[in-house]
Amino acid sequence: MPELGRAALIVCLGLALYAVVAGAIAARQRRQRLAESAQNAVVASFAAALLGAAVLFTALVQNDFSFVYVADHTSRELPLGYTISAFWGGQEGSLLLWLLILTGFSAIAVLLARRSAASLLAWAVPILGGVITFFAFLLVAVSSPFATQAAPADGAGLNPSLQNPYMLAHPPMLYLGFVGLTIPFAFAMGALAARRSDELWIVVTRRWTLVAWTFLGFGQLLGAHWAYVEVGWGGYFAWDPVENAALMPWLAATAFLHSVMIQEKRGMLKIWNVVLVIGAFALALFGTFLTRSGIISSIRSFTESSIGPWFLGFIGIVLAGSILLVLSRLPLLRSKTRLESPVSREASFLYNNLLLVAFCLTILWGVLYPILTEALRGEPVTVGPPYYNFFLKAFGLPLLLLMGIGPLIAWRRASLRGLGRTFAWPTGFALACGVVLVVLGAGSSIPGLVGYTFCAFVLASLVLEFVRGTRARHALGSSSWAGAFSSLVARNRRRYGGYIVHASIVLLAIGVVGSSAYDTIVDQRLRPGDTLSVESYDLRYRGVEDSRGANAQEIRAVVDVSRDGESLGTLRPGKNRYFAEQQVSNEAAIRSDRLNGEDLFLIADQIDPDGTLFLRALVKPLVNLIWIAGFVFLGGAAIALWPDAREQRRLAVRYGRSEALARA
């Protein structure tokens, strides 16, 4: 069995190397048959990776402890679901998952592009092959999941904090995002290497970026929800390096998805777009490296990691190679047009891009800061949440505002009078909302007030866009308003899908602002029978319940919750003491209000033997909008991604000629 796994990975490595060499020769000498053979090698490498993954999967499910990896990450008692999630619970397994997804995506991309963008494939294949080679090499030579040993009686088990349903979905989701960014990179570089100066690569790349970006975004929200519900400190994002690792490529990809429209419509920002694609891919590699190499704790631990130096080397090669390629193709990338006015849709996209990239760099700087200072001064200096939160406000609030301006402002050049007409309604609505909010007491946080006012502005301009579009459709003869609305969305999936994603970001912003700028935290020492009022809630501590669960002793503080004398139920925050792992975990209790999206979040910081409870109570207004935003986000992304026959035909006409030329 392990031999089969090892052999599969070696075959995968061989196929990938072949794709690099044969693909490059075929592309240089324009040899069609050889090029097809290299493409087939990429597809076949997926089969090899799949076989390797199947071997590890079988070993995990069968508790085959002669595999070092299985023995280190599972045990006999571990439930089946977590045994499967142990696949990505350790380094070797997660690398194998990377390889599996990478070869899978590559195979799909190659098969799809054969029909629609064959000329781009020539150089994309060797580049995909190169990335596959790197991961296959790591798995074969540096960090093999198929190392064997004399089987111990039982395995070491999985870390309890990873024994959680979210860990089944959250890491694969993030990997789908990280890995997905490889495809746009390969096609962008392929187009440059082939000296293609048209926008065909953008068409291929945009869809793949959108897919990867959707997985990455949703995966992050899953992680945030896991942190909120399970880790139990009352927050959902802590600017932890591992969280930042996923946020950075997502921001870069977000910037690309916007600026790409400028290139499609106006032929501008070509260099910038290529740089964003390279940046997103490099950040995805860097993110994998961050979560897997241990560089965060210190440089010292970095040198101990077996794959760290390899990753760093590969990122270096990727950056150096792609920058050289961009520099050598600069004449091809010259813009056809120039920015005509700083008040136009192009310009607002440009500002949006600058803000997104600036924020991305800010986070990168914060992540690298301890490493840089340790290298320069000998002692690492860390920056904490205040640093990130400051820049989130400094860059995030203007971004929010732009989200309301961008979709409405005219292309090329917007006149002041036009602006007044366009924005009269949203501005009026936002100002009215602001005044109402001040009256309601939202003035206690200025960033919060500004954030909410901007949210109102964006929502109003989004609604305005939908209303105008629907009205136009209706006037064109749609029978019903609902029919007009659905045909509006169906005919412009990218545009209106994008607007729905914007709406989800507004929901997210409302949730984040509400739960961070307007939250209440109370710490109180309570004896049984004591009461405590937090905002509109009256809490009464009844006493301690102590029960024995399957694998842990469960201690719970029983707290009755009521409002104005009306009972809202009983919450049981507490702690679990795990027998086997000798570990204590905090079990927070949450009451969500369906009507206003507010959470009452109780943490039993400490429960003394005499029944004294140190309770931390948090009231988080609107926090549930964050989770709803996740589903709206998915919906919007799905609409934008849905294949559109009309658009395909448009593109076929537009690029068909150049494609035919390239083939000739």
Partner 1 sequence: MLAVFLLYTSIAGGTPQLRPSELNGRTGEITIVGQVVAPVQRSGRTIRFRIKDVQGSSTVRLPVAYTGSVPDMFKVGRDISLKGRLRAGTLVGVPGTLVTKCPSKYSSKKT
Residues of this chain that interact with partner 1 (CB under 8 A) are 72, 89-91, 143, 159, 161-162, 231-233, 242, 291-294, 296-298, 300-301, 304-307, 358, 361-362, 365-366, 369-370, 373, 379-384, 386-387, 390, 525, 582-586, 603, 605-606, 614, 616
Q: Judge residue 336's burial from the number of C-beta atoms within 10 Å of its C-beta, 0-12 exposed, 13-18 middle, 19 or more buried.
A: exposed
**Residue 227 backbone phi and psi in degrees, to 5:** -60, -40
Considering the complex, what minimum distance in angstroms separates the CB of residue 370 from partner 1? 6
H or E element that contains 351: helix 345-377
Considering the complex, what minimum distance in angstroms separates the CB of residue 156 from partner 1? 9
Nearer to partner 1, 37 or 576 (CB): 576
**Residue 593 backbone phi and psi in degrees, to 5:** -95, 120
Considering the complex, what minimum distance in angstroms separates the CB of residue 303 from partner 1? 9
| CA 440 from centre of chain | 35
Nearer to partner 1, 390 or 642 (CB): 390
Residue with tokens 């920056």: 383
Structure tokens at 480: 């019903």
Considering the complex, what minimum distance in angstroms separates the CB of residue 523 from partner 1? 8
Structure tokens at 217: 């975004």
| Whole-number Cα distances in Å, 143 to 129, 185, 509 | 20, 25, 41
Nearer to partner 1, 104 or 232 (CB): 232
Considering the complex, what minimum distance in angstroms separates the CB of residue 26 from partner 1? 38
Which is nearest to 402 in space by CA: 497, 280, 509? 509
How many Å apart are CA 8 and CA 45, to the nearest integer?
Answer: 9
**CA distance from start to end of the chain:** 49
Considering the complex, what minimum distance in angstroms separates the CB of residue 233 from partner 1? 7
Nearer to partner 1, 251 or 632 (CB): 251
Nearer to partner 1, 368 or 437 (CB): 368
> 172 with 631: CB under 8 angstroms?
no
Structure tokens at 317: 């090669």
Helix boundaries (H) for 62-199: 68-73, 80-85, 91-116, 118-137, 166-180, 182-193
Nearer to partner 1, 89 or 172 (CB): 89
- 8-state DSSP, 550: S
Nearer to partner 1, 38 or 174 (CB): 174
Nearer to partner 1, 140 or 162 (CB): 162
Q: Judge residue 498's burial from the number of C-beta atoms within 10 Å of its C-beta, 0-12 exposed, 13-18 middle, 19 or more buried.
A: buried
Considering the complex, what minimum distance in angstroms separates the CB of residue 608 from partner 1? 9
Residue with tokens 């309770």: 615
Considering the complex, what minimum distance in angstroms separates the CB of residue 62 from partner 1? 22
How many Å apart are CA 456 and CA 434, to the nearest integer?
Answer: 8
Nearer to partner 1, 368 or 419 (CB): 368
Considering the complex, what minimum distance in angstroms separates the CB of residue 301 from partner 1? 6
Nearer to partner 1, 7 or 532 (CB): 532
Nearer to partner 1, 386 or 569 (CB): 386
Which is nearest to 220 in space by CA: 9, 523, 508, 556? 508
Considering the complex, what minimum distance in angstroms separates the CB of residue 309 from partner 1? 12
Residue 401, classed as helix, strand or coil, is helix
- Amino acid, single-letter form, for residue 443: G
How many Å apart are CA 59 and CA 69, to the nearest integer?
Answer: 9
Nearer to partner 1, 358 or 410 (CB): 358
Which is nearest to 180 in space by CA: 225, 219, 139, 231? 219
Considering the complex, what minimum distance in angstroms separates the CB of residue 430 from partner 1? 29
Structure tokens at 583: 């570990």
Considering the complex, what minimum distance in angstroms separates the CB of residue 423 from partner 1? 30
Residue with tokens 């959108």: 210
**Residue 429 backbone phi and psi in degrees, to 5:** -60, -45
